[in-house]
């Protein structure tokens, strides 16, 4: 796999990563608002909307990164789809930290 410059960016299809991270983060914020306003009990009690979104983004990012790591471990050649999974998972975990700073 060639990790140099433009070839690498084109190969991992950066638009897919941006679209996936955007859709997942919108889903996290929407569900954070929903659970924060309508279910103020149990796990969601005394948590802000950004804290709920941070928790959800970390869980999604960790699961996505783990799936990409498993595919990379069990198959000998690492395809661009596996790299997309791992980069998307890492981006979601980073977004979780960003949400956590504001909570």
pLDDT at residue 38, as a whole number:
72
Measured in whole angstroms, how far is the alpha carbon of residue 68 from the centre of its chain? 12
Quick one: pLDDT at residue 83?
Answer: 82
Q: Is the pLDDT of residue 11 over 70?
A: no
The pLDDT, as a whole number, for residue 5 is 54
Task: Give the integer Cα–Cα distance in Å for 88 and 45.
Answer: 29
Map out the domains of the chain as residue ranges.
5-101
42-100: per-residue pLDDT in tens? 677 777 888 888 888 899 899 999 998 888 888 877 777 888 888 889 999 998 998 88
- Say which DSSP state 8 is in: H
Q: Give the model's pLDDT for residue 66.
A: 92
What local confidence, expressed as pLDDT, does residue 8 receive?
Answer: 59
What gap in Å lies between CA 46 and CA 31, rounded to an integer?
A: 16
Phi, psi (deg, nearest 5) at residue 57: -65, -35
| Residue pair 96/57 in contact by the 8 Å Cβ criterion | yes
Give pLDDT, residue 62: 92
Single pTM value for the model: 0.74
Measured CA to CA in angstroms, residue 40 lies from 53, 69, 71, 91, 98 at distances of 15, 36, 38, 29, 23
């Amino acid at each position: 796999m060639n990790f140099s410059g433009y070839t690498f960016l084109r190969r991992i299809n950066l638009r897919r990563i941006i679209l996936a991270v955007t859709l997942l983060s919108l889903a996290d914020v929407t569900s954070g608002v929903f659970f924060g306003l309508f279910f103020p009990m149990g796990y969601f009690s005394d948590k802000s909307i950004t804290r709920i979104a941070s928790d959800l983004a970390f869980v999604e990012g960790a699961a996505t990164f783990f799936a990409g790591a498993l595919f990379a471990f069990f198959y000998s050649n690492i395809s661009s789809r596996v790299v997309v999974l791992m980069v998307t998972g890492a981006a979601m975990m980073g977004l979780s930290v960003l949400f956590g700073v504001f909570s």
